[in-house]
Chains A and B, each alone.
Chain A
Amino acid sequence: MAEMQAEIVHRHEAPKAFIWKYIFSLDHKVIGIQYYLLALFSVFVGLTLSILMRIHLVWPQASIPLLDKVSPLGAPGGVISPEYYLSLLTLHGTIMVFFVLTTAPQGGFGNYFLPLQIGAEDMAFPRLNMLSFWTTFAGLAVLMATFFIHDGPPIGGWTSYPPLSAVGGAAGPGMAVGETLWVVSIAIFCVASMLGAINFIATTLDLRARGLSLMKLPLTCWAWFLTAILGLLSFAVLLAAGVLLLLDRTGGTSFFIPGGLLVSDKPILHSGGSPLLWQHLFWFFGHPEVYIAILPGMGVTSHVLSTFARKPIFGYRAMVYAMSAIGVLGFCVWGHHMFVSGMSPYSAFAFSVLTMAIAIPSAIKTFNWIGTLLGAKIRFSTPMLFSIGFVSLFVTGGLSGIFLGQPPLDIYFHDTYFVLAHFHMIMGVASIFGIFTATYFWFPKMFGRMMNETLGKIHFWITFVGVYAIFMPMHYLGLEGNPRRYAEFIDNFLLPLMSVHRFISIAAFITGAAQLIFLFNLIWSLFKGKKATENPWEATTLEWTVPSPPPFDNFAGKHPVIYHGAYEFSVPGAEKDYIMQNSPEEVAADH
Chain B
Amino acid sequence: MASTVLTPTKPAKAGKPGGSGRGSGGFGPGGSGGGGGWEGYRVPSRTYRLGMWFGLGGIVMLFAAFTSAMVVRRGMSFDWASIAVPRILWLNTGVLLASSLTLELSRRALARRSATQFNRWLYATLVLGLAFLGGQLVAWRELASRGVYLATNPSSSFFYVLTAAHGLHLAGGIIALGYVVFRAGSMVRGLTRRTPLDVAAIYWHFMDGLWIYIFFLLTRWS
Interface residues of chain A, those whose CB is within 8 Å of chain B, are: 7, 9-17, 20, 24, 26, 119-122, 124-128, 194, 197-199, 201-202, 205-213, 232-237, 239-241, 243-244, 247, 251-255, 259, 271-274, 276-277, 280-281, 284, 553, 559
Contact = CB atoms under 8 A, between A and B. Distances in A.
A197 B54 CA distance: 9
8 contacts: A10-B23, A10-B41, A11-B40, A126-B29, A236-B60, A237-B61, A241-B69, A255-B73
B57 interface: yes
Contact of B36 (A17, A205, A211, A234): A17
B23 A273 contact: no
Contacts of B58: 194, 197-198, 232-233, 235-236
B142 interface: no
Interface stretch (B76-84, B90-98, B122-130): B76-84
A236 B59 contact: yes
Contacts of A273: 73, 77, 154
Contacts of B57: 232-233
Interface of B: 15-20, 22-23, 29-30, 34-44, 46-48, 50-51, 54-55, 57-66, 68-69, 72-73, 76-80, 150-151, 154, 157, 161, 165
Q: Considering the complex of A and B, which 8 residue pairs feature the smallest CB-CB distances, nearest first?
A: A15-B36, A10-B40, A559-B19, A252-B151, A240-B65, A12-B40, A236-B61, A272-B77
Contacts of B51: 124-125, 128, 198-199, 201-202
B25 to A, nearest CB: 11
A342 B58 CA distance: 31
Contacts of B77: 271-274
A209 B36 CA distance: 25
Given A16-B36, A210-B20, A251 B43 contact: no
A233 B61 contact: yes
Contacts of A202: 47, 50-51, 54
B35 A15 contact: yes
A237 B16 CA distance: 34
Nearest to A231: B58
A272 B36 contact: no
Contacts of A12: 30, 37-41
Contacts of A197: 54, 58
A17 B20 CA distance: 30
B23 A9 contact: yes
Given A124-B51, A273-B73, A9 B65 contact: no
Nearest to B47: A206
A13 B41 CA distance: 9
Given A15-B37, A202-B47, A247-B150, A125 B54 contact: no
A282 to B, nearest CB: 11
A122 B41 CA distance: 9
Contact of B44 (A14, A206, A208, A271): A206
B35 A126 contact: yes
Given A206-B44, A281-B69, A251 B165 contact: no
A210 B15 CA distance: 9
A274 B19 contact: no
Nearest to A253: B157
A273 B73 CA distance: 7
B73 A251 contact: no
A207 B47 contact: yes
A126 B54 contact: no
B137 to A, nearest CB: 18
A211 B20 CA distance: 12
Given A125-B29, A126-B29, A211 B79 contact: no
A26 B151 contact: no
Interface majority SS (helix, strand, loop, mixed), chain A: loop
Nearest to B42: A10
Given A12-B40, A247-B161, A240 B69 contact: yes
B75 to A, nearest CB: 9
B55 A198 contact: yes
B18 A251 contact: no
Interface-centre pick from A120, A202, A210 (highest chain B CB count, 10 A): A202
Given A9-B19, A272-B154, A20 B36 contact: yes
Given A273-B73, A274-B76, A207 B38 contact: no
Nearest to B34: A20
Nearest to A16: B36
B55 to A, nearest CB: 5
Contacts of A24: 35
Nearest to B57: A232
Given A10-B40, A17-B36, A274-B77, A243 B165 contact: yes
A261 to B, nearest CB: 14
A201 B68 CA distance: 26
Contacts of B47: 124, 202, 206-207
Contact of B65 (A247, A251, A281): A281
Contacts of A198: 51, 54-55, 58
Contact of A255 (B50, B60, B62, B157): B157
B7 to A, nearest CB: 14
Given A15-B36, A201-B54, A239 B18 contact: no
Nearest to B13: A210
A455 B17 CA distance: 43
Given A12-B37, A207-B43, A211-B16, 13 more contacts: A9-B20, A12-B41, A121-B19, A126-B41, A208-B18, A210-B16, A237-B61, A241-B65, A244-B66, A255-B154, A272-B80, A277-B73, A559-B20
Contacts of A17: 36
A553 B23 CA distance: 14
Contacts of B59: 236
A236 B51 CA distance: 16
Contacts of B64: 237
A184 to B, nearest CB: 16
Nearest to A121: B41
B9 to A, nearest CB: 13
Given A207-B18, A210-B20, A240 B72 contact: no
B66 A240 contact: yes
B217 to A, nearest CB: 14
A273 B38 CA distance: 51
Given A122-B41, A209-B18, A244 B161 contact: yes
A133 to B, nearest CB: 14
